[in-house]
Structure 1
Amino acid sequence: MQVSKNELLAVLAQFNPWWRGEAIADLPGWRRAAFRELSSWMTQPPAPRAVLLSGARQIGKTTLLLQAADALLRQGVPAANILYATFDHPIVKLAGIDAVISAWREREPRVDGPEYLLLDEAQFIREWGTWVKHQVDFRKDRRIAFTGSAMPLVEAGQESGVGRWHTIRLTTLSFYEYLQIKQLQLPALPRLRSLRDLMGWSASDFYRVTDLAVPYVGHFHEYLVRGGFPQTAQVDSITQAQRLLREDIIDKVLKRDMTALFGVRRVLDLEHTFLYLCMHDGGLLDMVDLCGNLEVKRPTAQSFIELLQATHLIYRLAPFGYGKDVLRARFKIYLADAAIAPAVMLKGKAILEDPAALGVATETAVFKHLFARYYAQNVRFSYWRGKRDHEVDLVAEVGSELIPFEVKYRAQHTGTRELKGLVELCRSRQIERGYVVTKSLTDFGPMEGLDTAAQVMRVPAPLLCYWMGASEVPGDDD
């Protein structure tokens, strides 16, 4: 569509203050853990590919792009060779990518060196997959980073995108990142190269860290109810944080993005489906019960669930196994962040007084942290159910190794009776090690008396989430 070039230039000039020699306003000093990976792909790309930042609304994708622009400028890249544009803006969306680049080059003639294109909400670019493919194949002088709030940005262009872009999947803030943003002064915890390191700790190591971690517990509970979105993390009032989460993030996805990107018309039914999932967070999805309660047909409900996953509001966890057994079994549903259910259900801090709800929120947070740590390594996550209906909450397939995680977030110390599923799985699959995620800081250390050869380590949830989120910690399979 034809858009006035003067209007388009005015918008682009507003987005790119460095063209006028001005600094980027209100850029935070903290950085997401993903910044390092993005920066390396922009400055010294391991392969000739674009970079896709994929994740939910309001988790810091735009900030990451602007921080990348700031870092490039500090490294001496000419301001004229950096373009930032968001296709969420109506003028930019209507103009299209070719008009944006033409207007950029008319205002800012190119200087020697690579061009850097930072494109926000690229799902609104017409035929975006074809355009990116063409740029990567034929414009070796350009380095492109683009963002998207919907998984179809990845899926719709997978075939043409093979070898053309590298995906960085962003989750909501980890507990570690949350603490950094809050700028809290807490005792320093030891670094772990891997969770496996805990297997070699002495009794005195566990006692020492238990004492150091005491101040972390209250902040972990606040993190569960406040949420892992940068905007909500920095609001003083938890009530206001949950309102922002509910109105500025969830409602916009359900009522705007679903209509604009996917053409959803039955928004009320979609909202009811999401409310149902909020009430069953971390549980097995019963499609018969969902359809009966909401009076929707199964294909419609299935479509809604796939759309909620596409917009990063939920994760679906398949049962352990392969083939027909998995296809016939029920999926487990986790919300994208532990704070979503309390915010949507208007519970405030009430979950902290509800042991069952607190356990669900913790399991959701644990899964998100493990997923964020391992997704880039193509780790497959599942849950396990044995012949006697004993279960294990999470199983990570890291290469040829299975690593089970059982969440027991309860006041009582974890005993052998509560771990029948874990023991059964470890014995049947000859698993070498597993982890039990606990509540009390004193419920920390190796399990004794289990009828299995596997080494099983109890790790309090605040510590596990801290270590999994710490940017310096490599993967557990290293």
Structure 2
Amino acid sequence: FDHPMLKLGGIDAVLAAWREREPRTEGIEYLFLDEAQFIRDWGTWVKHQIDFIKDRRIVFTGSATPLLEADQESGVGRWHAIRITTLSFYEYLHIKQLALPELPPLRSLRHLFDWTAPDFYRVTELAAPYTGHFHEYLVRGGFPQTAQIESVAQAQRLLREDIIDKVLKRDMTALFGVRRILDLEHTFLYLCMHDGGLLDMTDLCSNLQVKRPTAQHFIELLEATHLIYRLPPFGYGKDVLRARYKVYLADAAISSAVLLKGKNILDDPTALGVATETAVFRHLFARYYAQQVRFTYWRGKQEREVDVVAEVGGQIVPFEVKYRTQHTGVRELKGLMELCQQKNISRGYVVTKALDDFGLLAGTPEGINIMRLPAPLLCYWMGEAELYSNQE
């Protein structure tokens, strides 16, 4: 419903025209309406449809936050909201119809702690072809259109134009009344340059020459349109309110596409590590957000940090991303060890690069079990589990 003629005619006129072309049949009638945030008074219209037309089912897609916030009182008991993230690595491989060795299913990462050495070795051998496709996924992005375009440059151009022109310049103006589009675009570019890092509002305001309330408002809008995620620091109370947030882009490919980096990030270990960390968080979030998992980051003494901390069912599960060529040892995980000892955490994960950097980490303190897990495998299994958990 972002087409100008559909906007002008309205939904009832569109349905009347459709009814003239398609005769009514018996059974349930399904309506699929895209860009539904542009339908005028859509909440009232849906309420009327549900209350008076019992054989009709309606599926809306569009910018979720405006849809959910509008006419909330009308929607109680009438509709269900499902948040859809970008394609997982698992979905990306399937949409490209790639012929790859089949990996064993893994519904929960906890099951890895029950594996034997031959199990890890067998999966390492099977997963060899997945690494190259994972790197392609990081630069193409988790979008159906970009996944199926042959040229990476063309895929990134499409992604760049879709975000800048459609979301920032059109949706922000139409849905949120933003007028300072250039300042908003500059704010987003700043976040693309600092993906996966701590948000320094003072530095942002100084560089972009915008006032703090304006910058804060822009960041909240970018989060509302699901272009970014914000992670608070681990903990509760006033310390959290005063601390800085960590920011991830909604998809690992957004930064390289918007900043015109192309496939160059694959030759830059730092940029590749940031893109991998973004992809890892996206997969963890998509897999567990429906379970009301609280995601944070942890920062301890001597600037030691843990990238992502998941709190679910009274348990704390930390994830540290070490996407580099060297194998990971206890000495490289001082932040993770400190958090586990401080909070009596028995189980954690370190996300690695090499496929043979896979298995239980040796040399950890008693009572602490750390699983080394290659990023392509984590993203594959999280995507698979996300898909099948939604079907159950």
The alpha carbon displacement at 1:122 in A equals 1.0
Instruction: Say yes or no: does 1:235 pair with 2:129.
Output: no
Instruction: Say yes or no: does 1:125 pair with 2:39.
Output: yes
TM-score of the superposed pair, with normalisation by structure 1: 0.78
1:337 to 229, 235, 251: 251
Residue 383 of structure 1 corresponds to 297
Query: Which has the higher mean CA deviation after the structures are superposed, 272-281 or 380-389?
Result: 380-389
Q: In structure 2, do the counterparts of structure 1 residues 400 and 139 end up closer, same or farther at CA, with 3 Å as the change threshold? A: farther
Instruction: Say yes or no: does 1:225 pair with 2:139.
Output: yes
Q: Partner amino acid for 2:321?
A: V
Q: Is the 8 A contact 2:107 2:385 kept in 1?
A: no
Residue 286 of structure 2 corresponds to 372
Instruction: Say yes or no: does 1:462 pair with 2:384.
Output: no
Residue 187 of structure 1 corresponds to 101
Q: Partner amino acid for 1:203?
A: A
The alpha carbon displacement at 1:98 in A equals 2.9
CA distance in 2, matches of 1:382, 1:393: 8
- Secondary structure of 1:166's match? coil
**Superimposed CA distance per residue, residues 146-201 of structure 1 (whole angstroms, 9 cap, x where no aligned partner):** 11124222233444433322222111111111111222111111111211111111
Which sections of structure 2, spanning at least 5 residues, go unmatched? Answer: none
Residue 279 of structure 1 corresponds to 193
Residue 54 of structure 2 corresponds to 140
Q: Partner amino acid for 2:318?
A: P
The alpha carbon displacement at 1:356 in A equals 0.7
What are the residue-to-residue correspondences of 1:16-415 with 2, within 5 Å?
87-415=1-329
- Secondary structure of 1:351's match? helix
Q: Is the 8 A contact 2:89 2:380 kept in 1?
A: yes
Q: Partner amino acid for 2:137?
A: Y
The alpha carbon displacement at 1:434 in A equals 1.1
Question: Alignment RMSD, CA only?
Answer: 1.9
- Secondary structure of 1:409's match? coil
Residue 343 of structure 2 corresponds to 429
CA distance in 2, matches of 1:447, 1:433: 11
Structure 1 vs Structure 2: percent identity of aligned residues?
78
Q: In structure 2, do the counterparts of structure 1 residues 183 and 318 end up closer, same or farther at CA, with 3 Å as the change threshold? A: same
Q: In structure 2, do the counterparts of structure 1 residues 316 and 92 end up closer, same or farther at CA, with 3 Å as the change threshold? A: same
Q: Partner amino acid for 1:281?
A: D
Q: In structure 2, do the counterparts of structure 1 residues 264 and 230 end up closer, same or farther at CA, with 3 Å as the change threshold? A: same
Query: Which has the higher mean CA deviation after the structures are superposed, 233-242 or 382-391?
Result: 382-391
- Secondary structure of 2:82's match? strand
Q: In structure 2, do the counterparts of structure 1 residues 185 and 201 end up closer, same or farther at CA, with 3 Å as the change threshold? A: same
Which sections of structure 1, spanning at least 5 residues, go unmatched? Answer: 1-86
TM-score of the superposed pair, with normalisation by structure 2: 0.94
Q: Is the 8 A contact 2:66 2:175 kept in 1?
A: no
Q: Partner amino acid for 1:402?
A: I
**Superimposed CA distance per residue, residues 340-364 of structure 1 (whole angstroms, 9 cap, x where no aligned partner):** 1111111111111111111000000
Q: Is the 8 A contact 1:426 1:452 kept in 2?
A: no
- Secondary structure of 1:356's match? helix
Q: Is the 8 A contact 2:10 2:39 kept in 1?
A: yes
